[in-house]
Amino acid sequence: MKPINVGLLGIGTVGSGTWTVLTRNAEEITRRAGHPIRITAVADRNTERARTIVGDAARVTADAFELVRDPDIDIIVELIGGYGIARELVLAAIENGKHVVTANKALLAVHGKEIFAAAQAKGVTVAFEAAVAGGIPIIKALREGLSANRIQWVAGIINGTTNFILTEMRDKGLSFADVLKEAQALGYAEADPTFDIEGIDAAHKITIMSAIAFGIPVQFDKAYIEGITKLDAVDIKYAERLGYRIKLLGIARRREQGVELRVHPTLIPTRRLIANVEGAMNAVLVQGDAVGATLYYGKGAGAEPTASAVIADLVDVARLHSAPVENRVPHLAFQADQLVDLPILPIEEVQSAYYLRMRVEDKTGVLADITRILADGKISIDAMLQREPGDGESQTDIILLTHTAIEGQVNKAIQSIENLKTIVGKVTRIRLEDLN
């Protein structure tokens, strides 16, 4: 059996995990792939650290372009990350006729259209299971396992850092700022956690999944993104009392008018399995017309869980290394000439239910004024919670859950409610998804 030679770009956390798992399970992987898969060269700026990991078993260089141009290397594994040099290296590898395996969700979400077109033209494969949800094989499930289905929607907890923060806020009653410091101390959050807490990382991932689910181009620039930085611990408590938990969800939903593509904090009924995904774990719920709802759960990050996905891609590429292009699974599940450019709906046209919290003066007629405004906007109320004011308090909280409504109508209603003299400050609005 001819070995498949791999060039590894970046041997940090995931790269070292890939080396370890590929070495440890070499015999099992060979039996699955039909070829030995071996990393013959590693490129990393820290060559000294790279050599301590691979020893004499692979060539080490600081020049990544040396590997993408090496005629003896069959597959390039890109684990550098980011949009810049990674894009140049991936395109150079494709131009040199090499298959690419990457865990770089940011690169594919932003430049996927260009990269997949280049790979299609050159007759090579770009595999990216590790780019979404770490060790969970969600890309393969969407692209192959559910190919008989018309996918209706995908909803995922796809960022472990934010899920850890929300879990700790609920369990300990702490503020966002306090839990973020804890997450950084434990290594769950980066020193600069912006990509995680502002929802950008989750948006990269749901953008990729939406393309595979619906057969559309990757369109990260059209995603609506809202992070968890403004989330108040009091809303987590009220949600619990009403039978809900708050999670940062990535949602892609097919509508008649187009596709919803959004990331934001979301109330989910506690009875749903996905609402009970805790800590740094990930989960993705997919609704297909034939299969119904399917749930995929596991570790969304970490050296060996992500390495598991990288190596699964290596095995797939090794199996089809010499197969004609037409016999390979298309990058985005649908044949390249069958992608459709469905519009991504602006957030004002999204349909959701809503959690509304209002600080109000404890006066007669306040609730009647609020419900009148909602009724005028054709927004119906599903449930209500009103906190009794304490001794000496002149203000209280009213929490309303609405039935499904159009976001633009809800925005107008909120503006009218905030203009009432009995309303104190701004209305807190969090979207609610039943995921039924």
Over the stretch 273-306, which tens digit does the pLDDT of each residue have? 999 999 999 999 999 999 999 999 999 989 999 9
Can you tell me the mean pLDDT for 309-321? 93
Mean pLDDT to the nearest integer, 88-109? 97
Q: Which stretches of 135-291 are DSSP H helices?
A: 138-140, 160-172, 176-186, 194-197, 200-214, 233-241
Q: Could you tell me what percent of the chain has a pLDDT over 90?
A: 90
The reply to whether 46 falls in a domain is yes
Enclosing domain of residue 213: 138-299
Asked if the structure places residue 343 within a domain, the reply is no
Q: Which residue has the higher pLDDT, 403 or 394?
A: 403
Reported as a pLDDT band with limits 50, 70 and 90, residue 187 is confident
Confidence of residue 416 (pLDDT cuts 50, 70, 90): very high
Q: Are strands 4-9 and 75-78 parallel, antiparallel or unpaired?
A: parallel
| Catalytic annotation, pick one of 105, 205, 247, 299 | 205
One domain, residues 283 and 168: yes
Average of per-residue pLDDT across 71-93: 96
Does residue 345 form part of some domain? no
Same domain, 226 and 123: no
* Count of alpha carbons within 13 angstroms of residue 134, beta-carbon side: 23
Same domain, 212 and 153: yes
**Over residues 299-328, mean pLDDT:** 89
- 382 and 250 both lie in a single domain: no
pLDDT for 188: 86
Structure-token pair, residue 291: 């299969």
**For residue 372, what is the domain's CATH number?**
3.30.70.260
Do both 179 and 114 map to the same domain?
no
Q: What is the pLDDT of residue 390?
A: 75
Q: What are the backbone dihedrals phi and psi of residue 279, each rounded to the nearest 5 degrees, phi first?
A: 60, -140
CATH number at residue 191: 3.30.360.10
Q: For 42-69, what is the mean pLDDT? A: 97
Mean pLDDT, all residues of the chain: 95
Q: Are residues 355 and 316 in the same domain?
A: no
Mean pLDDT value of segment 12-18: 96
Which of 75, 72, 83 lies closest to 127, judged by CA?
A: 75
**Local confidence band at 322 (pLDDT 50, 70, 90 cut-offs):** low
Cβ–Cβ under 8 Å, residues 266 and 432 = yes
Residue at 17 is within a domain = yes
For 4, residues 6+ apart whose C-beta sits below 8 A from its C-beta are 33, 35, 36, 37, 38, 74, 75, 314, 317, 318, 321
Boundary residue ending a domain (338, 358, 387):
338
How far is the C-alpha of 184 from the C-alpha of 15, rounded, in Å?
22
Indicate whether 419 pLDDT > 80. Answer: yes
In a domain, 206, yes or no: yes
Task: Flag whether 165 is in a domain.
Answer: yes
Which of residues 188 and 242 earns the better pLDDT score?
Answer: 242
CATH of the domain at 83: 3.40.50.720
Predicted confidence (pLDDT) at residue 392 exceeds the cutoff of 80: no
In this structure, the answer to whether residues 144 and 175 fall within a common structural domain is: yes
- What's the pLDDT at 29? 97
Of the residues 318, 338, 358, the one at which a domain ends? 338
Active site residue 205: yes
**Do 236 and 331 belong to one domain?**
no
Which two structure tokens, joined as six digits, stand for 261? 């593509």
Place of tokens 């140049």: 88
Q: Among residues 191, 357, 343, which one has the least CA distance to residue 267? A: 357
Residues 215, 277, single domain; the answer is yes
Q: Is the pLDDT of residue 198 over 70?
A: yes
> With bands split at pLDDT 50, 70 and 90, how would you rate the model's confidence at 90?
very high
Model confidence at 327, pLDDT cuts 50, 70, 90, reads: confident
Domain shared by 238 and 295, yes or no: yes
How far apart, in whole angstroms, are the C-alpha atoms of residue 352 and residue 47? 51
pLDDT in tens, 115-169: 999 999 999 999 999 999 999 999 999 999 999 999 999 999 999 999 999 999 9
Contact residues for 265 (Cβ-Cβ < 8 A; gap 6+): 166, 226, 228, 231, 246, 247, 248, 249, 430, 431
Concatenate the DSSP letters of all residues of 111-151 into one string: HHHHHHHHHHHHT--EE-GGGSSTTS-HHHIIIIITTTS-E
Decide if pLDDT at 9 tops 80.
yes
344 found inside a domain: no
Is the per-residue pLDDT at 267 higher than 90?
Answer: yes
Q: Domain check: are 161 and 287 in the same one?
A: yes
Whether 232 has a pLDDT exceeding 90, the answer reads yes
Whether 264 maps to a domain, the answer reads yes
Do both 68 and 151 map to the same domain? no
Q: Give tens-digit pLDDT for 236-251.
A: 999 999 999 999 999 9
Domain count, the chain: 3
Q: Is the pLDDT of residue 359 over 70?
A: yes
